[in-house]
């Protein structure tokens, strides 16, 4: 059976992963139907055997010399090492063996070697980053000078394109070790220790003698996974291994024409989770030749600001519409509350550890165990919340591109997104947002539609006017044009005078810069992502938008005499008397005009959804939920927030209750 899909012209293959569950199984040797608990137990036994062998192999070779040998990609005879980790380890002579008296087949050993080999290959990148940070240790670890930044980037392979947040995180990690031990660590292995091996089965390293997966011929949403599992935790002979057939339901995201690959099986919370890899054909994304582009800008409370720019045949660029916003301030507020809770729990746990001082029989030991359990629970909640937010934001951004007919999404470069100068609270909130996850999921979803996702430099995207490239004047609000701020932008050029939200100006600049520099788009060698490395002055001069002339949609000129209106106004109170009050606990219809004013804002407007571009009035009119950005969705707004004062007109049509 072919493991490659058939491709047509203009298509390419794409490998993705879908998660599903195993709910039952059948032992093919005895014909016994296995319950979920029985399948979970047997998968856990097999994963334990693999994890123990992989941990022993990793502990033996987790050092600088062996990691460099594996990363070199050449064996002792000068031949290139295979891409499969288990084959590369066998070529180097690094073998794994089970415990004495335990019988496993060669495919189980393959999975252990594959897991250990992947862990050793991933350590190489972290080791190079830590060595670069140690070789250029700054005088002040909390703040590097521009010269020290150049030195540390030069000391790391590919450091010129490495995000600053990664270097800062490693610097804080080394500084913590220095404070605790009084010296710098030698390498990453002393800093972090041996990586932990998760309990899972990498069936991709096996063949048909250990596991198979086939799609149902009658129902494309069903598949049958067969794998050999032990009947006891310490199998003594091959007779203690039997084939187990597990029917699984494929998610609807897996196309009917997709080719399935052997999955990764793991246990979690009493369930057996299967990560099914599949390959299917998708439209090919191109680096150049784009005429409609979606620009994406990152913000703080407004997480994403997007809009579409069209490149005309004469080289002019125009913005299509006013743009849209994905406002996740409510979700981020919950995330920051959990972060503060996690920090307090960690502080309390550290205090307990100092008081216990290594005594296991201390009376605070049970309380410390409870704290650690709660810390893990809060961490899981934060991870799940970040994952859900990344999925929703990426899906929303790709849907914007699909609706606008865009063939490319230009995203602001995350490498320069370093929080600073906004206060301790805002810096922390800005640093812990899930921009990396959103960008990865955006690429994942855009590939299905053949839409390219290109990273562009973020320099001056919020500083210059999108129509004339004049430095903008940033103000606090549109109704306070003389008060300095950062949210509202005004162009001082007399012939332009553009003004708008800072983020809306940024996505215009990002999209225009991407369309002007699309000929310089390249694919990154390490990640394979499309990027625009530098900004060229001759191309940047053309990255300007032509203002769209404002035209009236209908003729409002007077075409006839004014309609005569009655001089008698409509009654403001009900003329008919209220009905008699019914017996029982039922209510009574109010007599007269029913009050319609609300003393509280709508529910959505209370979720930190306030627009930042208007100063809150203290007297007179108080904006309602629509003016504060509480639209049909808590996060998405298809038009920019309204900042004009909306007066409330009293109706004289009477009560309609």
Mean per-residue pLDDT of the chain: 83
Lowest average pLDDT, out of 34-38, 82-86, 387-391, 625-629, goes to 625-629
Cα dist. 289→28, 421, 497 in Å? 56, 39, 32
Q: Check residue 580 and give its pLDDT.
A: 60
Residue 137 pLDDT level (bands cut at 50, 70, 90)? very high
Among 196, 272, 197, residue whose Cα is nearest residue 229: 272
> Tokens representing 254?
């897996």
34 forms beta bridges with 25
* pLDDT at position 621: 52
| CB-based contacts of 530, cutoff 8 Å, min separation 6 | 285, 287, 452, 453, 454, 455, 521, 522, 523, 524
| pLDDT(428) > 70 | no
Q: What is the pLDDT of residues 545-583, one digit of tens each?
A: 988 766 656 666 677 787 777 666 655 555 555 556 556
**Which residue in the block uniquely carries the two structure tokens 């609000």?**
477
Asked whether residue 501 carries a pLDDT value surpassing 70, the answer given is yes
Instruction: Enumerate the β-bridge partners of residue 317.
Output: 311, 545
The answer on pLDDT for 614 being more than 60 is no
Compute φ and ψ for 471, nearest 5 degrees: -55, 130
Are 386 and 437 within 8 A, CB to CB? yes
Cβ(421)–Cβ(170) below 8 Å: no
Q: What is the pTM of this model?
A: 0.75
Query: What was the pLDDT predicted at 575?
Result: 54
Whether pLDDT at 354 is above 50: yes
44-58, 130-144, 154-168: range with lowest mean pLDDT: 154-168
User: 245 versus 549: which is more confidently predicted?
Assistant: 245
CA distances in angstroms from 625 to 477, 601, 602, listed in the order given: 18, 6, 6
pLDDT digit string (tens) for 630-655? 443 444 444 444 443 334 334 343 33
Q: What share of the chain is helix, strand, coil (3-state, %, to 5)?
A: 35, 20, 45
What pLDDT was estimated at residue 397?
94
Q: Are 13 and 3 in contact (CB under 8 A)?
A: no
pLDDT in tens, 22-33: 999 999 999 999
Radius of gyration of the chain (CA): 31
pLDDT band at 91 (very low <50, low <70, confident <90, very high): very high
Q: What is the dihedral of CA 39, 43, 46, 50, to 10 degrees?
A: 180
- Place 106 in a pLDDT band, splitting at 50, 70 and 90: very high
Give the pLDDT mean for 438-444.
91
Which residues are registered as beta bridge partners of 471?
464
Mean pLDDT is lowest, of 205-214, 304-313, 478-487, 551-560, for 551-560
pLDDT at position 605 is: 42
Superfamily of structural domain 292-329+384-540: Ribonuclease H-like superfamily/Ribonuclease H (3.30.420.10)
> For residue 573, which phi and psi values (nearest 5 degrees)?
-125, 155
**Sheet architecture: strand order including 452-456:** 522-523, 530-531, 452-456, 408-412, 292-298, 302-311, 317-327, 636-637
**Which among 201, 224, 261, 219 is positioned nearest to 16, based on CA atoms?**
261
Give pLDDT, residue 599: 52
Query: What is the rounded distance in angstroms from the CA atom of residue 505 to the CA atom of residue 540?
Result: 16
Q: Is 513 helix (H, G, I), strand (E, B) or coil?
A: helix
pLDDT beyond 50 at 153: yes
CA distances from 217 to 17, 275, 332 (A): 21, 21, 45
pLDDT for the residue numbered 157? 86
- How is the chain split into domains, by residue range? 22-137+184-242, 292-329+384-540
Task: Assign 225 a pLDDT band (cuts: 50, 70, 90).
Answer: very high
How confident is the model at residue 616, as a pLDDT? 52
């Amino acid at each position: 059976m072919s493991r490659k899909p058939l491709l047509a012209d203009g298509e390419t293959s794409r490998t993705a992963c879908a998660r599903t569950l195993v709910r039952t199984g059948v032992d093919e040797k005895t014909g016994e139907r296995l319950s979920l608990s029985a399948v979970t137990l047997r998968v856990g036994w097999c994963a334990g055997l693999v994890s123990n062998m992989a941990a022993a192999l990793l502990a033996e070779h987790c050092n600088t010399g062996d990691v460099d040998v594996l990363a070199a990609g050449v064996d002792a005879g000068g031949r290139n090492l295979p891409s499969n980790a288990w084959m590369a380890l066998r070529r180097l002579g690094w073998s794994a063996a089970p415990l004495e008296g335990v019988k496993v087949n060669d495919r189980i050993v393959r999975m252990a070697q594959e897991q250990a080999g992947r862990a050793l290959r991933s350590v190489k990148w972290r080791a190079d980053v830590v060595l670069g940070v140690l070789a250029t240790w700054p005088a002040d670890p909390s703040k590097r000078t521009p010269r020290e930044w150049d030195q540390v980037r030069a000391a790391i392979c590919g450091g010129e394109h490495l995000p600053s947040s990664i270097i800062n995180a490693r610097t804080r990690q080394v500084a913590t070790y220095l404070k605790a031990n009084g010296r710098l660590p030698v390498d990453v292995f002393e800093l972090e220790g041996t990586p932990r091996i998760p309990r899972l089965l990498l069936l991709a390293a096996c063949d048909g003698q250990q596991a198979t997966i086939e799609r149902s011929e009658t129902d494309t949403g069903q598949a049958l996974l067969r794998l050999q599992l032990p009947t006891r935790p310490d199998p003594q002979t091959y007779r203690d291994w039997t084939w187990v057939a597990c029917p699984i339901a494929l998610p609807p995201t897996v196309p009917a024409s997709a080719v399935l690959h052997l999955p990764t099986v793991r246990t979690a919370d009493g369930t057996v989770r299967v990560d099914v890899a599949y390959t299917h054909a998708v439209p090919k994304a191109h680096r150049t030749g784009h005429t409609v582009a979606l620009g994406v800008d990152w913000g703080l409370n407004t997480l994403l600001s997007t809009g579409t720019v069209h490149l005309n045949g004469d080289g002019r660029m125009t913005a299509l519409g006013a743009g849209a916003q994905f406002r996740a301030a409510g979700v981020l507020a919950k995330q920051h509350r959990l972060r503060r809770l996690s920090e307090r729990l960690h502080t309390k746990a550290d205090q307990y550890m100092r008081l216990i001082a290594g005594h296991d029989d201390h009376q605070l030991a049970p309380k410390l165990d409870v704290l650690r359990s709660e810390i893990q629970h809060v961490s899981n909640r934060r991870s799940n919340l970040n994952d859900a937010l990344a999925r929703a934001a990426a899906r929303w951004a790709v849907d914007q591109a699909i609706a606008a007919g865009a063939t490319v999404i230009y995203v602001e470069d995350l490498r320069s997104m370093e929080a600073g100068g906004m206060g301790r609270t805002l810096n922390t909130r800005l640093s812990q947002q899930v921009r990396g996850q959103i960008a990865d999921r955006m690429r994942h979803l855009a590939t299905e539609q053949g839409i390219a996702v290109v990273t562009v430099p973020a320099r001056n995207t919020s500083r210059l006017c999108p129509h004339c490239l004049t430095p903008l004047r940033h103000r606090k609000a549109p109704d306070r044009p003389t008060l300095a701020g950062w949210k509202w932008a005004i162009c001082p050029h007399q012939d332009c005078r553009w003004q708008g939200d800072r983020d809306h100006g940024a996505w215009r600049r990002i999209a225009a810069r991407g369309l002007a520099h699309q000929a310089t788009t390249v694919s990154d060698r390490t990640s394979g992502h499309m990027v625009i490395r530098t900004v060229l002055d001759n191309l940047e001069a053309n990255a300007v938008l032509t203002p769209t002339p404002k035209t009236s949609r209908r003729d409002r000129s007077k075409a006839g005499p004014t309609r005569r209106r009655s001089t008698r106004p409509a009654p403001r109170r009900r003329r008919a008397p209220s009905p008699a009050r019914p017996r029982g606990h039922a209510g009574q219809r109010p007599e007269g005009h029913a009050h319609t004013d609300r003393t509280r804002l709508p529910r959505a407007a209370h979720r930190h959804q306030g627009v930042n571009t208007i100063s809150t009035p203290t007297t007179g009119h108080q904006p309602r939920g629509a003016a504060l950005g509480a639209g049909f969705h808590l996060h998405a707004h298809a038009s920019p927030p309204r900042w004009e004062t909306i007066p409330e007109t009293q109706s004289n049509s009477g009560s309609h209750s």
